[in-house]
A and B are shown apart, each in its own frame.
Chain A
Amino acid sequence: MQAEKTQTKAQNRFWRELLDGWMNVLTQPNLDTFRAQRARADPLKTVLGVGLLGLVLGLWALAIKPATLVTEMRTEAILIDLLRMIFFTEADFFIISLLLFFIARGFNGIGSFSQQSYLLSLVTVPLGMIVVAFLFVGEKLGLTLTAVLNPLSPVGVAGIFVILFALYGFLLLLFALQAAHEMQSSAVFYTFGTPLVAWGILRIASMFAAGEENVITTQWAFIADQWAKGTAQELLLGHLWLVAFSVSIAVVLGVTIGVFITWPAQRPRLSHLVILIPLALFLLLWAASSGLLGEGMADQIASTTKDWSRSLKRIDNLYFGPLLAIVAAIIAKPAAVGMIVAVFTIILYALFLAGEKAGDLTLYIAGIILTIPSVALFGAMIKPLGIGPFNAAFALILYAQLPILRNTYTGIKAVTPEIVEAGRGMGMTEAQLLLKVKLPMAVPVIMTGVRVSIVMLIGIASIAAYIGNDTLGQYIFDGITRAQEKRYYAGAILVAILALAVDYFLGWLQGRLTPEGLKGRREAA
């Protein structure tokens, strides 16, 4: 009697401790929790816990089998199915744990196998069960795993949660391993990383060796096919030209504004009236082509520009075609061109006069522009600029302003006052100071800004496909509308490669453009 009672008590304690372990890990996920649990390590708990997970997995497998199949199955068959699942789960778990154990030992781990397995099971078992529960519900709602994981699908947000959850689980595993072996965090990463990388390499190698279809081969095949057809190059060049065209204008504009907002406020002078010439010309262009000076004139301009635009488009050149298309689209809208240039002339002159007084405001506005979602800006500009490259270039130029003008501004401001004073004291004019001292010294900073904005524009230019531009974004939008994964992956991959390649090239260029004397110099405080 007595013996039986203590036995049940001991059994109760055993189960309670196991449950406690799971709860602790879920509610207090930190290194100390695992350290505390290390003392309670017990092979029996590990085996039982993992077996429980195996049972749940087995039940889930049964539950998602078509109902007719299950009802036809005999009880023994069901039992064997369950036992098999339990066995394989245990085997998988302990084989992986053993592997990790040996690798951990290689990185000077000191824990025992029993401790390590127990701590790992504290993570895998409860999280595994939660995942199974979610999958079960998802399955019942008719959602496939790929649909959940795809951020572009209707339940994309769920995908993000799943990924976060997986990351969280991985983090817990790192804690478990670290607590089991009291090792450095870097060693923990290596312990996990080694088998993962090895597995990945083997997996990819075997897929290729077997000539099996897989994500990589299908993706590769698709891109190769697009390349052979010439579509990929066309979109790539379209993408590059759109960015290149916008950036070259943005750099001139941004650096000019950046320079303007670093110098002292100016008084208007009679000689400033020169700006009236371009202003008048472009206002005239706007007025004439929007019919303010008579319909006849407007028609005439419209037909002329349409002719020019058409003949430009007719030039069939693979490499310069996209650039010609941009120019053609701009020529076709003389009224908008006139208005935009006139407005920018006024803005530039105002900034020229206000000088550093306008600095904060200008940076603030450029910052705000950057926060406008690109789709919204493209959409808003459809009315005045139409769809196509004009609209896209206009938006891209605006977006590129902040990094360029901010870096020009800070780069110039950062030039040591003593150096500027030395130049001034030796008789340099303000213009000479700017061109011979301030700008050369600011070049590295300005180039960083240009680099940032180019990479940013490569991203935004994909979205310009939305308003009918031939950029790599076409693949992404087409892929979504046609529900073709490989198509939007192709778009994303090509955009990423393009951004990385261009950034690398710009890094090299930056090195070449940095004045020799500024290279070796560590920023003197």
Chain B
Amino acid sequence: MIKFENVTKIYPGMSSPAVDKLSFTVPTGEICTIVGPSGCGKTTAMKMVNRLIDATDGAIFVLDERGDMSNVLKIDPIQLRRSIGYIIQQIGLFPHRTILENIGTVPQLLDWDEARIRRRAEDLVTMMNMPVEFLDRYPHELSGGQRQRIGVARGMATDPPVMLMDEPFGAIDPINRNILQNEFLRLQQEIKKTILFVTHDIDEAIKMGDKICILNVGGFLEQFDSPANILAHPANEFVEDFVGADRALKRLNLVRVEEVMNARPPLIQTTQNVEQAAGFMAEQGIRFAYVVDADRTLKGYVRVRDLKGKTGWVDEFVEPAATTIPLTTSLKDALSEMLVVDYANVCVVDAQNRVRGLIDTNMIHEAVIESAAAAEGEEA
């Protein structure tokens, strides 16, 4: 848990505050994104947690090892920083140290023995989907995205309960950023850290945050709430402008396909013959269907018109599916994927490529209407 209580920061020689009477609480195990226009005090707010900057007024509390909330000003800054994960843009890796030494920075400061550091580093790079050989490389020998993952791994080296991330995915291209965001969200499901995540990108804030803290220039808190609530009920005009006119569409970011998909889709088995398959499709009133084998692994799809007047086994007529969607994909990503391949419906698969459901544009539409209604209902 991280708790801000009336925190104010006025830089020396400045008349107006950079952060103004900020109060909010990040519950244990949740991600809170801080978002706002450039210069609104996001970084300042974050750095006050590990005392890279000291607050002028107010207090910040974090949960310590004993499970008590303690004021960060009462903790020795060096000790405090070593106990909090700190992740900044890729430029923060030490160029003269190998990946192993980079990840091992804090463990080394805490005097872990070498074998333990290596073991931990190996676990971390594996967790980040990278080969352990990377450990002996130097940062300049990695791609931007890989460096970014190492940055995250370094922040988690000692498994700190609280982490601070300042635009951690800021310096990479949108495609890789999306991949990293998804990877990190999946990871967070397991590690359940308490995270303060700074970004200037409202889409990222909505996607990553369990809570969003929207700041205005001058460090003034405009709204602190869950993404769904902020999208449904922007507190004021500033927030409304900031989240953008397409906030209805943005809500698609908040729902995962597994929540709305048809979990019992009509499927054809590879063991069926052509007549059976054609009959099944006619019965269901569909013009094509996905084909799976005995353990529901996706094989592709068949079309009614391809089967017309043919005999034999279905496998001969199977065409490979152009795309599939993982269970945890957001509706927004699913929709964009469907628009790209121009399919009316797409298979939702799990990590082993087994079909878990089917999603189409109608389901997405209904989900949007439902979530809007739910939000209205809450308000009422």
Q: Which residues of A contact B (CB under 8 A)?
A: 416, 418-419, 421-429, 432, 437, 440-441, 515-518, 520-521
Contact = CB atoms under 8 A, between A and B. Distances in A.
A416 B94 CA distance: 10
Given A426-B81, A520-B138, A515 B96 contact: yes
A517 B98 contact: yes
B140 interface: yes
19 contacts: A418-B88, A422-B86, A422-B92, A423-B94, A423-B105, A424-B52, A425-B47, A425-B164, A427-B79, A441-B95, A441-B96, A516-B138, A517-B98, A517-B138, A517-B139, A517-B140, A518-B95, A520-B138, A520-B140
Contacts of B88: 418, 421-422, 425
Contacts of A422: 86, 88, 92-94
B21 interface: no
A515 B164 CA distance: 30
B92 A518 contact: no
A518 B96 contact: yes
B141 interface: yes
B96 A517 contact: yes
Given A416-B91, A515-B96, A425 B52 contact: yes
B92 A419 contact: yes
B337 to A, nearest CB: 35
9 nearest A-B residue pairs (beta carbon): A422-B92, A427-B82, A427-B81, A517-B138, A515-B96, A425-B86, A517-B96, A521-B140, A418-B91
Contacts of B97: 515, 517
A21 to B, nearest CB: 61
A428 B47 CA distance: 15
A440 B52 contact: no
A419 B139 CA distance: 13
A418 B89 contact: yes
Contact of B86 (A426, A440, A518, A521): A426
Contacts of B164: 425
B50 to A, nearest CB: 6
Contacts of A440: 96
A511 to B, nearest CB: 15
B106 interface: yes
Contacts of B98: 517
B175 interface: no
A425 B83 CA distance: 10
A321 B240 CA distance: 83
Interface of B: 47, 50, 52, 78-83, 86, 88-89, 91-98, 105-106, 109, 138-141, 154, 164
B334 to A, nearest CB: 36
A196 B367 CA distance: 89
Contacts of B81: 424-427
Contacts of A441: 94-96
Contacts of B95: 419, 441, 517-518, 521
Nearest to B52: A425
Contacts of A428: 78, 105, 109
Contacts of B138: 516-517, 520-521
Nearest to B97: A517
Contacts of B96: 440-441, 515-518
Q: Taking each of A432, A440, A516, A517, which has the highest tally of chain B beta carbons within 10 Å of its own beta carbon?
A: A517
B166 to A, nearest CB: 9
A427 B52 contact: no
A429 B78 contact: yes
A445 to B, nearest CB: 13
A375 B93 CA distance: 49
A521 B147 CA distance: 14
B109 to A, nearest CB: 6
Given A421-B52, A517-B96, A518-B96, A426 B91 contact: no
Contacts of A521: 95, 138, 140
Given A425-B164, A427-B109, 9 more contacts: A419-B94, A423-B105, A426-B106, A427-B79, A441-B95, A515-B96, A517-B94, A517-B97, A520-B140
A416 B105 CA distance: 18
A426 B140 contact: no
Nearest to B99: A517
A518 B88 CA distance: 21
Nearest to B105: A426
B140 A427 contact: no
Contacts of A516: 96, 138
Contacts of A418: 88-89, 91-92
B317 to A, nearest CB: 53
Nearest to A514: B96
A53 to B, nearest CB: 64
A226 B141 CA distance: 54
B88 to A, nearest CB: 6
A432 B164 CA distance: 22
Contacts of A520: 138, 140-141
A434 to B, nearest CB: 13
A432 B139 contact: no
A416 B95 CA distance: 10
A421 B87 CA distance: 11
Q: Taking each of B52, B79, B83, B105, which has the highest tally of chain A beta carbons within 10 Å of its own beta carbon?
A: B105
Contacts of A425: 47, 50, 52, 81, 86, 88, 164
A425 B91 CA distance: 14
A416 B96 CA distance: 13
Contacts of B80: 427
A419 B106 contact: no
A402 B248 CA distance: 65
Contacts of A427: 78-83, 106, 109
Contacts of B89: 418
A272 to B, nearest CB: 21
B139 A426 contact: no
A429 B89 CA distance: 21
A515 B102 CA distance: 14
A410 B234 CA distance: 50
A513 to B, nearest CB: 12
A515 B50 CA distance: 30
B139 A421 contact: no
A427 B82 CA distance: 5
A425 B96 CA distance: 18
A429 B141 CA distance: 28
A419 B154 CA distance: 13
